[in-house]
């Protein structure tokens, strides 16, 4: 998307002109049929192609460790069918107030000491209010001062909110597309696809990096999985970080009881993401705990080079950090922090 550098000042905050909607570029780099063709390749051929791209773009072969903290849990007014934090679903998740700055910074310090290089803060909001923004900005400044990359996922943003986050020192903003446009209405009704694209436009225009991915295993077809990847790959530019989530089914949500996705299909999704978005950090996100080591190992072979690190992702379970360290050691994979410091592991 073309950047407009003109800005204006109001009450000490930098505002940027309204962006054009984020849409696939005119001449699609990756038409859906071509992405589907990658999915349909023989498994070994697909992984071979993905590994070629991965080795070319990330010759160090390092894995980025990112930690995700829920700074405001539960009580969300949205109806995302996968989410246990929606107030309308009885999932046992209690609505809580936003965390204090001390608790957030303590968690960030702990994450850094454990090897994380990026600290992500998530809040169960449809969109943040002004009083929320002030608290989040303070958190961003504090985490940034610790020497960590900062990321936030707060729901839909307005133009001026994206600018405020940039001014506070935020590096990345996460706002997932979730699924393909043609499957979207099966999952969510309280916001539409263009709402998500508009937020990504505000984020780009503010000069923030984009973290954007989706969820697979929600009952979508392979073609619809290809449609999600095509949407992401055709954003101009494509996201710097692409989290790929495997649906974690939570009792009480509408998607509980959905037929499980074949693990090898998840590996295929990782490989296709790597080929179509070669320089992105492709992150194994939700659902790693149920995959087991062999499937995760294949995902790394397919081009995944980032994981969420820590025993919880917002409200769902994640592998223990100690288990992740053991797995990475078994596979001989170095973390980003070790590579940047010159370490061998």
The catalytic residues are 76, 80, 83, 120, 151, 211, 283
120 is in an annotated binding site: yes
C-alpha distance from residue 138 to each of 100, 130, 133, 212 (Å): 10, 13, 9, 24
76 is in an annotated binding site: yes
Kindly calculate the radius of gyration of the chain based on its CA atoms and give it in whole angstroms. 19
211 is in an annotated binding site: yes
- Which of 124, 128, 127, 129 has its CA nearest to residue 84? 124
Contacts of 150 (CB under 8 A, 6+ apart): 118, 119, 121, 140, 143, 144, 169, 170, 171, 172
Residue 261 C-beta-side C-alpha neighbours within 13 Å? 26
Q: Which two tokens stand for residue 317?
A: 């379970």
83 is in an annotated binding site: yes
- Which of 58, 42, 69, 119 has its CA nearest to residue 304? 58
β-partners of residue 209 are: 172
Q: What is the DSSP letter of 20?
A: P
Q: Which two tokens stand for residue 168?
A: 């506070």
Which H/E stretch holds residue 312? strand 312-313
Q: What is the DSSP letter of 102?
A: H
Preceding omega of 237 cis (within 30 degrees of 0): yes
344 is in an annotated binding site: no
Between CA 75 and CA 98 the distance in angstroms is: 11
212 is in an annotated binding site: no
- Which segments are annotated as binding site for [2Fe-2S] cluster? 120, 151, 211, 283
> Which residues contribute to the annotated binding site for [4Fe-4S] cluster?
76, 80, 83
């Amino acid at each position: 998307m073309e950047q407009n550098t003109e800005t204006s000042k109001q009450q000490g905050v930098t505002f940027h002109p309204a962006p054009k909607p984020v849409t696939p570029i005119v001449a699609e780099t990756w038409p859906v049929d071509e992405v589907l063709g990658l999915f349909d390749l023989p498994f070994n051929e697909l992984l071979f192609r993905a590994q070629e791209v991965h080795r070319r773009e990330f010759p160090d072969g390092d894995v980025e460790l990112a930690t995700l903290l829920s700074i405001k849990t539960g009580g969300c007014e949205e109806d995302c069918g996968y989410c246990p934090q929606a107030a309308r679903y009885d999932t046992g998740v209690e609505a809580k107030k936003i965390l204090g700055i001390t608790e957030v910074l303590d968690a960030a310090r702990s994450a850094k000491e454990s090897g994380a290089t990026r600290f992500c803060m998530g809040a169960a909001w449809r969109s943040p209010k002004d009083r929320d923004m002030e608290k989040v900005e303070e958190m961003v400044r504090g985490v940034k001062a610790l020497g960590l990359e900062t990321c936030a996922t707060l729901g839909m943003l307005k133009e001026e909110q994206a600018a405020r986050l940039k001014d506070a020192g935020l590096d990345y903003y996460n706002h997932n597309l979730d699924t393909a446009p043609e499957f979207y209405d099966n999952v969510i009704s309280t916001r539409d696809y263009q709402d998500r694209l508009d937020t990504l436009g505000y984020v780009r225009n503010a000069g923030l990096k984009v973290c954007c991915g989706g969820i697979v295993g929600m009952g979508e077809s392979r073609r619809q999985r290809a449609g999600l990847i095509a949407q992401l790959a055709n954003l101009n530019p494509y996201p710097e970080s692409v989290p790929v989530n495997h649906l974690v089914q939570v009792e009480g949500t509408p998607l509980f009881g959905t037929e499980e996705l074949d693990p090898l299909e998840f590996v295929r999704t990782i490989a296709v993401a790597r080929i179509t978005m070669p320089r992105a950090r492709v992150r194994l996100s939700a659902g790693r705990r149920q995959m087991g080591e062999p499937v995760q190992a294949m995902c790394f072979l397919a081009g995944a080079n980032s994981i969420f690190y820590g025993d919880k992702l917002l409200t769902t379970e994640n592998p223990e950090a100690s288990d992740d360290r053991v797995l990475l050691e078994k596979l001989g994979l170095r973390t980003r922090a070790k590579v940047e410091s010159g370490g061998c592991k």
